[in-house]
Each structure stands twice: as C-alpha cells, then as structure tokens.
Structure 1
Amino acid sequence: MKNVYLLRDAIISPIGFNTRENLLSLRQGISGLKLHKEPQQTPSEYTAGIIEDKLLNENFREIGDPDSYTKLEKMMILAVAGILSEKEALDLDQTGLIISSTKGNIDLLGYESGFDKKRVLLSELGKQIKEFFGFKLEPVIVSNACISGGLALSVAKRLMNAGKFQNAVVVAGDLVSEFVLSGFNSFQALSEGACKPFSKDRNGISLGEAAAGVLLSEKAAENKANVALVAEASANDANHISGPSRTGEGLFKSIQNAFRYSGVKPGQIDYLSAHGTATPYNDEMEAVAFNRCGLEKTPVNSLKGYYGHTLGASALIESIVCKHSLLNGELYQSLNFTASGVSKPLNIIQNYRNQNLEYALKTASGFGGSNLALILKKENNG
C-alpha cells in the first residue's frame, strides 16, 4: 500500500489545548493526573487526567456556543478546528472524516442533560462534528476498544489507498465518565495514585480524558521533513474479554505483520511507544511480545503517566507524539517509572533526551484481544 503522511495535528488535554503546549509539558515532565474527590462517582476518590469545564468552554467560545454541545463534542471539535488552516484550505467536499471513540457521549445516560437522547449514539457524535465544519462525506466511526485511535489511522490509510479520498481528518476522544470509572473499578484495575507503567510497584491504570486530531494526506508537505505511516497491522488473539494473552500473541503478530508489510527490520526501529497501561497483565504481555520481536533494546516509553489512559483517544495522541518525536529528535521520559516489574528486559526511557530518529513503532492493545502496530518514518523533503 502507498504511504500516507501525518500533516497538521492538535491535542486537547489537561496538559495543553494544542500540540505545542502538550509537547512542552512532556519535555518538562508535567502530568495532568490529579486526585479527584467526587461523592457521586465510583470510587469516591480516584486519580485521573480531567479537562476543566471552565477552561474548555473558554476555548470553545472562540468558535461556537458551548451550551449547544456536549463536553466530548467540544473537545473533538476543538481538535478538528486546530488542524483546519485557513492558509491551506481543504476541500471538505472531498475530505474524509474518521472518528474514534470507545464510549462517546455515554455520560448522558441516566441524567437530564438537556440534550436529545440520540446524542448518546456514536453516529450522532459523528453527525455533530460533520455538520459543525461542513464535511460532505459521511463520517466513518471506529470503535474497537483501546486500539480505536490508532486503528482510525489505519482505516483512513486503507480508504485513501482505495481511492475514496486524498485527504482525511482523523479525530478521537473519550471522557472520564461514571460508567468508565465504575467499569474499571469493578475489575479492580484502578491505581491508588498516578499510574506507574512497567514498574515493579505498579498497581493499575489512571484514567484520562482528551481529544486529538490529525490531517492525513497522500501528498507530503513540501520543503520540510514529513512523517509517513508506512505500515499498520492489527490482530485479535481472542484471549479474554478483558485480559491480554499471556504470551502476547496478538501483539506479536501485529508487530511481525507490520514489519513484513513494510520491509522494516526490528533493528531499524529507533523508538517504541508502548500501550503501557500499568496493569500487571498488560505491561507483562507487552514485555513478552517486544522481546519475541527482538525489540528489548529499543528505547521504549509509555505516555500514560502524563495523560492517564484516554481510551479511544490514547493511540492517536501517542501516534501524534511519535510523529513529533521523529521530527524533533526527542525521547520523552516514561513518567513515574521506578524499577522494572516485568519478567523480560526493556530499555525504558527514564530521562528526556535528544536523539536522531528515523523509525518509530507505536503499539496498542485493548479489551477483547485487540492489538495494533503502526510504523512511522521520518522523511526529508526539503
């Protein structure tokens, strides 16, 4: 398949309302995770990365009426607005819109929100974004557990390769809702404090909410370095409704297929962006899969210590960070890492540093046995 290029992007999160602000926070080791005490939630105390409603509304007023949209819609619309440049106007009649979310507006269930009950549907979420900007083509909705954000990039690339459109806007987002909190709490999967991916003393995830958007194009931007999506592969090992394969089979197959499709070898990967949720089973599974693929010496980090697990947005946010790591030659600290708590060796990035980078591998895994691998490459066109 032909490569596609990651052009303009935007990240809306507790540590920044654009990509530049987010990258600055990553460089400085600033986390969006905070302790929250809300009696109506389950549990009553939890650590998470949550966007303040007041700040969100202040930013949204520049482009629309905050009262007309749900919190998630505002986050995702801001992400799309951040990548639509007046100087480089897109033909929205011919631009694809790919939307990723695991739960959408599920926070509207059970409450008198003032919004039509249909807004809880993922299709309605797509409709709101489409109509706000005036996209002509019907949005494609991607919802496949926690690989959704990365899978949306894969779906966009495949549709572009099939000739459906030359450009695509990919946007992803999810909230920290009572439904999500109670669900992970029922698994006893929530961390007591800020999560510690791959650490010996890790004890679960921290949740987060964020949105991100990226413009994909078949054409690279001229006279500058670009980052191309050169391969993507997914595999489902169907191990368990929530537990990953203990041998990392699905992730192993995803990575191996991405290598096979691209012709890239394990030794060429300069940076590995892991899923790294900080649950005992996920981190162990990833360590096994990475070692099976010959990636045990590759610098690796998890960004969950900054954002928490943002569900359907996580793999897209982390792919955008991968892009900028390649362009800027930066490796970000795997925040909150203490001492290794997995059975196989990994080269955890413990301090921010600069390094020449050409290839990055982004992986993601999710409930139901879903797994994904993306290979990104820096190309100089100037």
Structure 2
Amino acid sequence: MKSLPITHATLITALGAGLAAHAAALQAGACGLRPCDFEDVVLPGWIGPVAGLEQVALPAALAGHACRNHQLAWLGLQQDGFAQAVHAARERWGAHRVAVLLGTSTSGILETEHAYRRRGPDGALPGDFHYASTHSTAAVAHFVRLALGLEGPAWVVSTACSSSAKVFGDAARLIEAGLVDAAVVGGVDSLCLTTLYGFHSLELFSPEICRPWDAGRCGISIGEAAAFALLQREDGADAPVGRLLGVGESSDGHHMSSPHPEGAGAALAMQRALADAGLQPPQIDYVNLHGTATPNNDAAEDRAVEQVLGRDVPCSSTKGATGHTLGAAGGVEAVLGLIAIREGLMPGGLNLRERDPGLRIHYLGANRRGTVRHVLSNSFGFGGSNASLVLGAA
C-alpha cells in the first residue's frame, strides 16, 4: 500500500486520558488494573475501568444514544483536540468525504443487560430501552458520525480482538479507491456483564492480575477503552503524528476460541503487513504483541513472531497495564505504537514474575529506550481473525 499520514490520534484507557497521560504512564510503568468491582459482579479477577466514566453527560442532541459505550466514545473524542481536528478535516474535504470506521465487541450491550433486569411481568423490555441507538453493533459508528457531523461511509467491524485494527485496512482501501479523502478509525469497547461472566465461563478471566509471557499466566484482565486516529490523503493533510505503512489480515479459522497452536494465521498476517509496507523483518524495531496472558495465545504468538521476525526484535504486551480492551484493543495498541515511536520508548510488559522458559522471543520485562522507526502491532481475535499493522515515524 501507499503509506498514509496519521494526522491525529488519541485514546482513553484505565491508564488515563490522552497521549501525554499514556506516555507518562508507560514511562513510569504504571498499571491501571484493579480487583473486579464492576456493578454487582462477584468474580475473582482484575479489570481496567476508565475513571469518571459514569459521570459523563452527553450533549442534549445526543441524549437518545446514552449508554456506557457512547459515554466512553464521547470522552475519547474530547482528548488531544481530536474532535477539532476532525472538524478541520470536514471543512477541508467535505462531510461526505470523511468516513467513520470503528471496531467494537459488545457495543452498548450493558444497556440491554440493565433493560432485561427491568422487564415487565409479561417479559417485555421497558419502553425507554432503545436497542438500535445503544446496543446495536452499528450504533457506535452512527453515534460518532453524528457527534462529529460527518456524512461519509460509516460501519463497524466486530471480529473480536482484531476489530479496531482491521478498520485501518478498510480506511486505506477506501482512500486508495478514491471513495473518501479521510477516515476516523479506531475502536470503543466498555465493561459489561456479558464479557466478565462470559470470559469467566470460558476459564479465561484470570483470578490474578494478567501476566503476559509469565510461566504462571492463566488468563486475561478485562479493560475498557476508546481509541481514535484520523487518516488523511497526503495532499493537504496536516503534519502527521505517524504513518500507516502496511496492513496484514488473515483468517485461519482453526477454532472458535483457540488460536492455531503454531500461530499459522498470526504469522501470515505479520508477513502480509511487512510485504504491504515494503519492509524486511530486521527493519521492525518493536512489536506490540497481542499478548493476552492466556497460555495458548501467548505460546502461539511467540511461535509466529519467531517464525516471521526471529528471536531478537524487542517485544512486549501492554495489556498488563490497560487490560484486554477486546474490540478496542487494536486501536489502543496502534496509538500506543505511535507513542513508542514518538517517545523512543519500548514499554516493558508488566506483572512478569517468572518468564515462561518455553517462550523464546525477546520479551521486554522493563522499559527500553532507543530509536523506534517501525512498530508492528498485532491483534488476533476469536475464530482466527488476525490483523497486523506496521506503523512508521512521521
């Protein structure tokens, strides 16, 4: 692909709000996780909630879309002047020439969970519950489109953890085809009962804080996040914060909830991303791993990275700091990759006690400083949906 400028980016996670807060948190080795205390959930485990989210009020014009997921999206759009940057792009290109392409996993399902608890004697859901504007998978793209005053193509990708990485590829294809001039991409996923109880039932919600690449790892800690990036055509675009150099996607379909044990689909996504970027493996300076801290996922990704890049490239997972933000993870980690490039910082993975001796790639247990020109960011979802992004310096 022809590289695309990423002119603006922002994110909000359990680590804080905005680029500066995340850069500082990564440098300090901060962790945003805490023991699970979400609503009335009684489960052993750790979560990464966004501070102050419950107090966020939407503008009156958007009040009909109120739900936790949209409160999170709204709060994310207010960081780092992102909404203002999109408004400038809208003026430059026209509202109909700016796309909104987002990833999510559960969207506003928490509203449905609350509505179900309030159903009437006949089983009917309450009259103030509006599925289409809250829980519907497409709802978050519609909400962001309205919030930003955009009229271009809009859709949501929901392929589990790869969702908000895949939309970068969608944006690149739309721009290359001449259908749009700019695209808001990213992902939003908020805490809800379904993911907490669901991952617990799959025995993937770790009772301890998640420990990627650790010999004793036993599952994920669940976080929530919103991450956004603005991609624009080269001509007339603002000075970029980074560049999208390549996108690789694959679908190995090995198993509904387990990766291919040798990481076949993951390796293919990374190979395609490198080829798309026109780069050789030694040119990757840092890999932000999918790194969920489940035994199978870390082992499969370790094999895939070794196959494609060898054992020497510095790698780490940032999920020990943010938790696994599910459908938002790809967008979050892409923006963290941009921070790594800007700051010359390869963040060490948190919570590592004893490295798994069966995993062989160069996993960072502490921060490393150095020039970072190219970052590979991995996102691998349920059902074998894999996406890798190559990001470059501005």
TM-score > 0.5 by shorter chain: yes
Pairwise mapping of residues 215-234 of structure 1 onto structure 2 (< 5 A)? 215-219=230-234, 226-234=241-249
Paired position in structure 1 for 2:207: 192
Higher helix share: 2
**Superimposed CA distance per residue, residues 21-41 of structure 1 (whole angstroms, 9 cap, x where no aligned partner):** 122111111111100246842
Paired position in structure 1 for 2:29: 29
Q: Distance in 2 between matches of 1:110 and 1:223?
A: 42
AA aligned opposite 2:130: D
**Superimposed CA distance per residue, residues 297-347 of structure 1 (whole angstroms, 9 cap, x where no aligned partner):** 100010101111000111111100111211221111111122221524121
Structure 1 residues 134, 248: closer, same or farther in 2, change over 3 A? same
Among 376, 382, 388, the residue aligned to 1:361: 376
Please report the TM-score for the alignment, with normalisation by the length of structure 1. Answer: 0.92
Aligned residues of 1:57 and 1:66 also touching (Cα < 8 A) = no
Paired position in structure 1 for 2:12: 12
Task: Tell whether 2:290 aligns with 1:275.
Answer: yes
Among 93, 107, 112, the residue aligned to 2:110: 107
Among 54, 68, 71, the residue aligned to 2:68: 71
Structure 1 residues 4, 205: closer, same or farther in 2, change over 3 A? same
Q: Percent identity?
A: 26
**Superimposed CA distance per residue, residues 172-212 of structure 1 (whole angstroms, 9 cap, x where no aligned partner):** 11122111111111111111221000111111110111111
Among 76, 85, 101, the residue aligned to 1:98: 101
Among 214, 238, 245, the residue aligned to 2:229: 214
Q: Distance in 2 between matches of 1:220 and 1:345?
A: 44
Paired position in structure 2 for 1:124: 139
Q: CA RMSD in A?
A: 2.3
**Structure 1 residue 59: deviation in Å?**
5.4
User: Which secondary structure does the structure 1 equivalent of 2:102 belong to?
Assistant: strand
Q: Which moved more, 1:352-361 or 1:32-41?
A: 32-41
Q: Distance in 1 between matches of 2:388 and 2:86?
A: 33
Q: Which residues of structure 1 form unaligned runs of 5+?
A: none
User: Structure 1: which 4+ aligned runs deviate by more than 3 Å?
Assistant: 37-40, 57-68, 220-226
AA aligned opposite 1:24: A
AA aligned opposite 2:88: A
Paired position in structure 1 for 2:176: 161
Task: Tell whether 2:308 aligns with 1:293.
Answer: yes
Paired position in structure 1 for 2:350: 335
**Superimposed CA distance per residue, residues 119-177 of structure 1 (whole angstroms, 9 cap, x where no aligned partner):** 21122332222222211124121111110111111111111111111111113111221
User: Which secondary structure does the structure 1 equivalent of 2:212 belong to?
Assistant: coil
- Equivalenced residue count is 376
**Structure 1 residue 86: deviation in Å?**
6.1
Please report the TM-score for the alignment, with normalisation by the length of structure 2. Answer: 0.89
Structure 1 residues 215, 64: closer, same or farther in 2, change over 3 A? same
Q: Which residues of structure 2 form unaligned runs of 5+?
A: 119-127
**Superimposed CA distance per residue, residues 72-119 of structure 1 (whole angstroms, 9 cap, x where no aligned partner):** 101112223431226971213321111210110111224238431322
Aligned residues of 2:45 and 2:209 also touching (Cα < 8 A) = no
